[in-house]
Chain A
Amino acid sequence: MRRAPLALVIPAVLGLAFLVLPLVGLVVRAPWASLPRRLAEPGVVSALVLSLQTATLATVLCLVFGVPLAWLLARADFPGRRLVRALVTVPLVLPPVVGGVALLLVFGRRGLVGSWLGFSLPFTTAGVVVAEAFVAMPFLVIAVEGALRGADARYEEAAATLGASRWVAFTRVTLPLVAPGIAAGAVLCWARALGEFGATITFAGNFPGRTQTMPLAVYLALETDLQSAIVLSLILLGVSVAILAALRDRWIG
């Protein structure tokens, strides 16, 4: 293996340090002795389980709607495509709290859609999933669109000349081709959903066992008990990193 040039190594190491140091701060200041006791508190487990469930459901939602959207952006030719692509990134730019207010104005009980929906999304677990999906979907769409653009369209054309319909070509040729891109996008999407705070607390409120995810529990713990907030953060970090590492070994190898 050739030596990596210093001009790349030095900024890379600095960048890594910048990302890892805050984590070191958490680990150093954590009250390790009380960790098992705090982990056993019922509120912690329910917040953690709720976080994992809602982030996973939000990711599924994003896959169902986001992959077709990415395909449309990468493969279909229609007027206003640039505008659509810009609109997809809106949740990235929007402060999440504003996103939460915007969701209330649409899906709230007096919202544009919510008023004739017949059921109310705010203050429900479904509302948490919706808030997380809103904020996380752009990550999936952008990653999958990039993968589709990188994939060679000639394979799809070959499938078409052999008589495959566009749907069959999509499911049998395109999807397997961009599977790594979809997996990477889903991981980003899941991670973003797991850490979601602003849109969730604004749109879905905060109620233990129903809408209180780990980031919300951490924020409220900060009001009274810094140590407890640090422990909760580490639990969330530990579990999410463990899950991502396990998935990587299984799927991406």
Chain B
Amino acid sequence: MRRLLGLLLVLSGCGVPANGAVTVFAAASLTEAFTRIAAESGLNVRFNFAGSAALAAQIDQGAPADVFASATRITIDGVAPVAFAKNQLVIAVAKGNPKGLNELSDLMRPDVKVALCAQQVPCGAAAKKALASVAVQPVTLEQDVKAALSKLKLGEVDAAVVYRTDVRASPDVEGIEFPESADAINEYQIAVLKESPNRAGAQAFVDYVRSEKGMAALVAAGFQR
């Protein structure tokens, strides 16, 4: 659905950019941080937030974007991406940690129901790497990170392995850091696109994201430098 909305947005936004506007295609997990950054920067920014893979496909099909910020590596011809932030997995539990979980191996306890993301989506691929050392038996492999989190919020599972930024954005859950997640850190990359109709504006936005102020907004949202 998000993908379809993104596509509609692209189709309706076809053609010339409005006066000085920068069109930024960004991974859904950047929504809070980038919205704040755009407001603070004073630049005229239009966003299209969606899954990184879907955005890459839209750009590949000629969508008129100036900047692409992806949750994974960007591999587009003629584009020089730079890494600007990292996101790490945490164990999300209900507020107050009712099951008293402290570490990854606690997820193996028979009284703990666990939701992971499916391997086909980035959070699931990362979880598979990070959980390689423990034999966790999840009850479900959710279609995206928000679905895994909502199973926790509804009380159907006791723990979900999600990104730290997702926990930071949800007041009713808390996150438990675990050292094994260092093996599966997502590196976010940003790039000005080759076909950008507004290269100067695009570069200004990228520079602002990488400035101290931009970094502060990202860190506040739960990202790491």
A binding-site residues for B, Cβ under 8 Å? 101, 104-105, 108-110, 122-123, 201-202, 205-208, 211-212, 216, 219-221, 223-224
Contact = CB atoms under 8 A, between A and B. Distances in A.
B13 interface: no
Contacts of B154: 101, 104-105, 108, 110
Contacts of A122: 139, 156
Enumerate the 5 nearest inter-chain pairs by beta-carbon distance, A residue then B residue, closest first. Answer: A205-B140, A123-B139, A223-B120, A110-B155, A224-B120
A109 B139 CA distance: 13
A205 B142 contact: yes
Interface in B107-161: 113, 115, 118, 120-121, 138-143, 147, 151, 154-156
Contacts of A202: 147
Contacts of B155: 108-110
Contacts of A108: 154-156
Contacts of A211: 140
Contacts of B118: 206, 220, 223
B27 to A, nearest CB: 14
A4 to B, nearest CB: 38
Contacts, number: 54
Given A220-B118, A220-B120, A224-B120, A206 B156 contact: no
Residue among A101, A201, A207 with most chain B CB within 10 A: A207
B156 A123 contact: yes
Contacts of A109: 155-156
Contacts of A224: 53, 120
A206 B143 contact: yes
10 contacts: A104-B156, A109-B155, A201-B142, A202-B147, A216-B143, A220-B118, A220-B143, A221-B120, A223-B120, A224-B53
Residue among A105, A109, A211 with most chain B CB within 10 A: A109
Nearest to B144: A223
Given A101-B154, A109-B155, A123-B156, A206 B120 contact: no
Contact of A219 (B51, B115, B139, B143): B143
Nearest to B1: A97
A110 B115 CA distance: 17
A109 B147 CA distance: 17
Contacts of B113: 123
Nearest to A211: B140
A188 B16 CA distance: 48
A224 B140 CA distance: 19
Contacts of B147: 201-202
